[in-house]
A and B are shown apart, each in its own frame.
Chain A
Amino acid sequence: MQEAPTETTKVSTSLRELQEISFSERAAEGALIFVVIFLLPGRSKEHFMSGINPKVLTIYLVKKAGQLILSLFVLSLMVFFIARIAPGDPLRAYYGEAVERMSQVQLEAAEERLGLNDSLITQYVHWGQQALQGDFGISYQYKQPVTQVIGQVWSNTASLVAASFAAIFLLGLLLAVFCVRHEGKWPDRLICRLGVAANSIPEFFVGLILILIFSVSFNLLPQSGANSLGGGGFGDHLLHLILPTAAIVISHLWYCAYLMRNRLSDEVAKEYVLLCKVKGLTERQTIYKHCLKNIMPSVMNIMVIFLPHLLGGAYVVEMVFAYPGLGKLGVDSAQYHDYNMLMVICLLTGAIVIVANLAAQVIHETLDPQSREERGQML
């Protein structure tokens, strides 16, 4: 008899706590998504350190590092051999029209100097040794070390990709939540239709339309470059980022949002959601407080799978907006048969995606140890 009232008070206090939380939640609905993200690494670390003994951990890390190195090795091998079977003439790219006026002796000397005479394997070993020291050869087009040319523009691509990635992540989640809350009703169906349509428009065309509307017709935003002529400040760079980012977001948002929506809609059908409802949480509270947190590992996977698409999209959009970055560099070097440059851009992009993939795998496996087994069985 004595226990019953304490139980009820406990329940009522916890309910009150929940309601208190709910007030702050309602105040900052969007900000909560950030909280969820920030909670993730903290959680995983705690979990990671507590359960596993150091020896197992070391083996695990060594295995992952081995995987990484192997993938990068095969990637470099592939890219190198594709570049070297090229019939296009690197000599011509390097010396231009002068090649035709060179004598046979001069030609051979030039080939020797660029290392084009050795067997492919020797060339690869030679190239690999230098690459490990950070020397990826010279760009035939710019007559500068490749790394130096890339060093000048990579930050532009990074800011574009980071801005679009963040925008797609946030908007995708919000859109997913919105769709799930109206699942099956007209707003959801409308968004699904629009999303599918937007997703099938090529990104360069979205970019062109944006230029036509915002630069040519209304003259609101700059249509090309990463900075105004003569260089501007940070604000100027942001202004130049708006249209390219918008183009990427419009053409790629649905790819992520749709996968997130499906995942969230599966989650909402689970039984604990009913429990939350019984406890008196509103639908919004349940989704933001519980469901989003639970689907975060899958969302992370989605974003990683999406990364190569995003990078590819960014490269194309860079061309449309004449935005000096890796993509523009890549397309330009393709036209000048500058294979050294193209190789490094392919390698760099592949390496970023592989590292991101592996990082996501590690985080996912520490969050959810079951997935390791599943993956083992699946592959």
Chain B
Amino acid sequence: MKKLPCISILLLTGILAGCLLADLFIPYDPTYMSLTEISQAPSSVHLFGTDTLGRDLFSVIWYGGRISLIIGLLATLITTVIAVIYGTISGLASERIDNLMMRFTEMLLSIPGILLVIFLQAIWGEASVWSIAVVIGLTGWMAIAKMVRSEVRQLRSSGFVLAARTMGGGFFYILWTHLLPNFMSAIMFMIVTNIGSAITMEATLSFLGAGLPADIISWGSLLSLSQRAMLTGCWWMLIIPGLFLIVTLICITEIGEYLRTRNRRDRLM
């Protein structure tokens, strides 16, 4: 049994609050590009320095965190909905259909997620917050779906589910009132970790130039500017947004780990 990860929760709450309330304390307009102050090192005027477009990094980071977190949450919401429905159908279905559905997830799992995301995003065309969240959500549900399925398999023959079915309970009714409350705790850690991987995916995608353009501020699009800047010695453009990203990700992982060790069902893996 692990202790509650207090530091992670505190840090994450801090970052969340900072991003949400950014408008109250950021000193500059994050979208304002000051052409006279390009690539300045951190100083008292610009706390974290400025980027290659002359934006104040301190303001931009808090502002950009919003987009990154929104994408993480939105993508995870989509992922969870797909995974729960797919997993439940597969778990309740007959042997043959269940087998087929699981084969399909395994096949999807055989293509690296990042490749699928790039592929789908390229097909979608113009990248926006919405499109990226949907694309990431569409490609990340397989692992959770497998977990849901194996939980549902264990639950499907329990008395309360059978009773509900014989009394004519519909699919969504049984899912919502009987199955979901029972397997939610088992997949909770996967959902939390999924937020982290969705944020990573967005950052990677934007970094590769296949995601958000530089004028939609997110941690990923900030980092995509940093590679060229870094070669000219402007380390702050890489380190500072990177630090925010990593701290957020580690906090999310820690909380996920805590949830995972709290219910030890996953040792089956």
A315 CB-CB contact with B under 8 Å: yes
Stretch at the interface among B9-17, B36-44, B45-53, B115-123: B115-123
Determine the residue in chain A with the shortest Cβ distance to B120.
Answer: A82
> Once the chains bind, are B111 and A353 in contact (CB under 8 Å)?
yes
Cα A83 to Cα B120 with chains together (Å) = 8
Main secondary structure of the interface of A (DSSP, over half): helix
Do B253 and A75 have beta carbons less than 8 Å apart? no
Provide the bound-state CA to CA distance between A350 and B125, in Å.
23
Instruction: State whether the Cβ of B109 lies closer than 8 Å to any Cβ in chain A.
Output: yes
Contact B230 A357 (CB under 8 A): no
Asked if B107 contacts A350 (CB within 8 A), the reply is yes
Interface size on A, residues (CB 8 A): 49
Q: Determine whether the beta carbon of A308 is less than 8 Å from that of B111.
A: yes
Q: Residue B249 at the A interface, CB < 8 A?
A: yes
Chain A 336-355 against B: per-residue CB contact (8 Å), 1 yes, 0 no?
01010010011001100110
The distance in angstroms between the C-alpha atoms of A316 and B123, with both chains bound, is 19
A-contacting residues, B51-95, CB 8 Å: none
Cα distance A26–B235 when bound, in Å? 46
Segment from B26-34, B156-164, B172-180, B196-204 that makes contact with A: B196-204
Q: Which of A310-362 contact B (CB under 8 A)?
A: 311-313, 315-316, 319-320, 330-331, 334-335, 337, 339, 342, 345-346, 349-350, 353-354, 357
Chain A nearest Cβ from B142, distance in angstroms: 11
Bound state CA distance, A85 and B112, in angstroms?
21
Q: Does A205 contact B (CB under 8 A)?
A: yes
Q: When A204-B204, A312-B115, A331-B209 are in contact, do A87 and B123 touch as well, CB less than 8 Å?
A: yes
Chain A residue at minimal CB-CB distance from B224? A204
A201 within 8 A of B: yes
**Across-interface contacts of B115 in A (CB, < 8 A):** 311-312, 315, 330, 345-346, 349
The verdict on B130 contacting chain A, using a C-beta distance below 8 Å, is no
- 26-41 of chain A: CB within 8 A of chain B: none
Is A74 at the interface (CB under 8 A from chain B)? Answer: yes
Known interface pairs A208-B242, A330-B115; A74-B107 also in contact (CB < 8 Å): yes
CB-CB under 8 A for A205 and B223, given A82-B123, A334-B119, A334-B210? yes
Q: Please name 11 further chain A to chain B contacts, defined as beta carbons within 8 Å, in addition to the given A196-B250, A196-B257, A319-B207, sorted by A numbering.
A: A74-B104, A79-B119, A205-B246, A212-B235, A308-B109, A320-B227, A342-B122, A345-B115, A346-B111, A349-B111, A354-B107
8 A-B pairs with C-beta separation under 8 A: A88-B122, A197-B253, A312-B113, A319-B207, A334-B210, A345-B115, A350-B107, A353-B111
